[in-house]
Structure formats: C-alpha cells, structure tokens
Amino acid sequence: MRAFVWLVTLACLAGAQHQALIDYLERRLLAIEDRVSLWHEQTNRYAAELRELKQQMVAQLDNLDKEKEALRANLDGVGARVERVEREMDYMETQHGAQPCVDVDDKLVEQQVTQVKENNKGRYSRLSDCSEMISSIKAMKIVKKLGGAKGMWTKDVGGDSGKVYVLNGTDQGTVYEFSSLQEFTGSPDVSLARSLNLPSVWKGTGHLVYDHHLYYVGEQLTVVKYDLRNSSRADSAVFLAGDHVPAYGLSPETVVDLAADEDGLWVIHATRQNSPHISLAKMDAETLDLEQTWDTACPTENAEAAFVICGTLYVVYNSAQPGRSRVQCVFDVSGVVSGEEAPLIYFPKRYGTHSSLKYNPREQLLYAWDDGYQILYRLLMKQKLEV
C-alpha cells in the first residue's frame, strides 16, 4: 500500500514536471512567434521604406538629370554669349587701338604689306616650283564687323591694287569696293565704298577677286567673270547643276567654291559621282576651262570651307553646334603631302563658323568671314618635304 502511494506520488510528480516543461516550451514558442511576427513586421516596414526611398531616389535622379540638361544648355548659351562679348571686345580694341597687343597686331598687318612688296620678286621666281605647306596659324586679327552672318571679303589676290572687296550675304548683287584695307577698317559702314551692281545675283560665298576680275557663282551654277575696272561681264561658264551637290555640308549655299593659290585658280566642288567626297579642279583664269580634275577622299560632311595653297587643298571642318574650326583633311595634287603627315591645324581660340575662307598667296593671309566679323589669319609655312 505504501509502495502504491509512493508510485502514484511519483507519477503525479513526473506528470506535473512534464506539464511544466510543456508550459515552458509553449511560452518559449509563443515568445519566438512574437519575435518572428515582430521581425516580419519590421522587415515589411523596412522593405516598404526602402521601396519608398528608392522611388524618391529615382524621382530625384530624374530631376537631377533634367537639371543637368538645363544647366548644360545654360552653360552652352553662356559660352556662346561670352564668345560674342569677347569678339566684340577684340573688335572694339581694334577700333580704338588702346591696347599694346592690338598695336602689335596692327603692325602685323602693315608689316605684312611692306614685307610682301619686298618679297614679290623672290616669290614670282619660285611661283612654278612653289612647295610650301601650312605649319600652323600664327596670328589672327579681327579687322571689322560689317554685314550679316554669312558673306565673303577679300583683296584682289592676283593684282596689286590693294583694293578690298566685300560681298555681304549669300544671294545679293551689290559688291562694295574699298580702295585699301585702311579705308575698309576706318569706314563706319559701306558709305566710303564704291558700289558695283552685278548683272546677276550671286549664290553662296564661293567668289574670288583675281587680277581685276570678280569671279562669282550665280544661279544655275553659272560662273561669271566680271571686269571690275569697267564694270562689264567678261565671260561666263556653266557647271552642270544636276551633277553637283554642295561641297560643304555646313555651308549648303555654297555649291561651288572658287579659290586662288600661287599657281592660279581652282574649283572646289562635289560631283554626284564622287559624293560624299570633295573634288578639286584647276581652272584657267582666262577661258574658265577646267584643265584637270581630281577626286579627293575628303568628306563633304561637317566641312565648312576650304582653300588651296601651293596645289594642296585644305578642308576645314566644324560641327553643327559651332566649335573649334580645324583643318582635318588635305589633298596634294603633287602627291607630296599625304593625309597622315599633314598636321591637324586648329583655328585659334574662337568658337565660330567660317562662311568663307579666302587665301591670299601674296600675303600668306586667310581672309575669313565669321558671323559678320571680317578676320585675318596669318599662316606659318614650311617646306612640303621637311616633315
């Protein structure tokens, strides 16, 4: 009996202990469950917050992108304005000549003229075996601000009259003739100039003044040779308009461009056969006949102007948004200068576009028209063979 009671007590004790253990475990489980659900809740909250944050970030990044774009556009605008102001200041300085650097620049032009007179003899004897190429652009001078965004100005590059001619715009018929560079820079507008009314309207900026004659490209790609001394039409020739595309992608008004170098006249154009590349032809100044033609590998795309020096064509490229103009393709009819050895030549400092670039072989100057400003570039030359 005693033993039985002992046994029951033991069993009861064991049962109670068991129950306590179960209770204990249940409590632990409940606690764990609580923590798990709390953790779940927190993760959900964190995930939600994270999502929200991400959305906010994306929105802000979008905003930032937009703001960056706006800022860049603003900067571009400001850059262009600064350029304009700079150019305006350069021009004002040339007008009032207070700055010593401008005096030096003025001397540069004057020196150039006298130097050319001294050089003339030597130059003529070397004319046939001219063998120079551009080494760099040594100096620039903003000479004047006259006329619209596009146009062409030049001296008579074949004669020694020293007269300056201005052909403002890309489709007009009045040439302004100034008796000298000094008169041109001193004239407030075109009132000091002699006005010449041409027999027809010109197209583009491909004109040339050579040995008392204006050569201009009119409608239907007619090249007119016009005698400036007695204001009469001396001759004309016609290019087949259907055969041609504009030579310069960035100056589509100029389908055919005329150039002069030490050896005479050249035609820079783009035929349908050699498109999208530029072609070059040698033109007889007397008869306007094409003596010889070459197809170059210089693309018309992004070309803004070109000129010829010693039988080498230099094509100047830019971008649709005016940037730094640069000579980036050359073609030498004598084959001495190859594209690889020609230096990449940047025009100094300016961010602009050249609607015309005319080389004067007597002065080794480029006459440029940049957004209504008339600019001179002085070239530094070297022998073609010494590369």
Ligand X SMILES: *[C@@H]1O[C@H](CO)[C@@H](O)[C@H](O)[C@H]1NC(C)=O
Which residues contact ligand X (rule: CB under 6 A)?
Answer: 147-148, 168-169, 190, 227, 229-230, 232
Radius of gyration (Cα) for the chain, nearest Å? 39
Cβ 201 to ligand X, closest distance in Å?
12
- Axis crossing angle, helix 2-96 with helix 100-125, rounded to the nearest 10: 70
Structure tokens given for 353:
């576009």
Cβ 175 to ligand X, closest distance in Å?
10
161-174 b/e with 16+ CB inside 10 Å = b? bebbbbbbbbeeeb
Residue 95 or 174 with smaller CB distance to ligand X: 174
Burial class (CB in 10 A: 0-12, 13-18, 19+), 381: middle
Cβ 203 to ligand X, closest distance in Å?
13
Tell me the residue type at 284.
D
Cβ 150 to ligand X, closest distance in Å?
7
Helix, coil or strand: residue 86: helix
Name the one residue in this structure whose structure tokens are 């007695």.
230
Neighbours of 226 (CB within 10 A): 22
Cβ 355 to ligand X, closest distance in Å?
10
Residue 138 or 145 with smaller CB distance to ligand X: 145
Structure tokens given for 105:
């620049």
Residue 159 or 299 with smaller CB distance to ligand X: 159
Cβ 294 to ligand X, closest distance in Å?
32
Residue 170 or 360 with smaller CB distance to ligand X: 170
Residue 147 or 322 with smaller CB distance to ligand X: 147
**Rounded Cα–Cα distance for residues 339 and 44 (Å):** 67
Cβ 173 to ligand X, closest distance in Å?
11
Cβ 171 to ligand X, closest distance in Å?
8
Residue 119 or 172 with smaller CB distance to ligand X: 172
**Rounded Cα–Cα distance for residues 236 and 279 (Å):** 21
Q: Which residues contact 22 (CB under 8 A, 6 or more apart)?
A: none
Neighbours of 119 (CB within 10 A): 15
Neighbours of 32 (CB within 10 A): 10
Asked if 386 and 133 touch (Cβ cutoff 8 Å), the reply is no
Nearest to 119, CA basis, from 315, 278, 262, 285: 262
Residue 228 or 333 with smaller CB distance to ligand X: 228
What sign does the CA torsion over 83, 89, 92, 96 have? negative
Residue 147 or 352 with smaller CB distance to ligand X: 147
Residue 312 or 353 with smaller CB distance to ligand X: 353
Cβ 237 to ligand X, closest distance in Å?
18
Asked if 278 and 257 touch (Cβ cutoff 8 Å), the reply is no
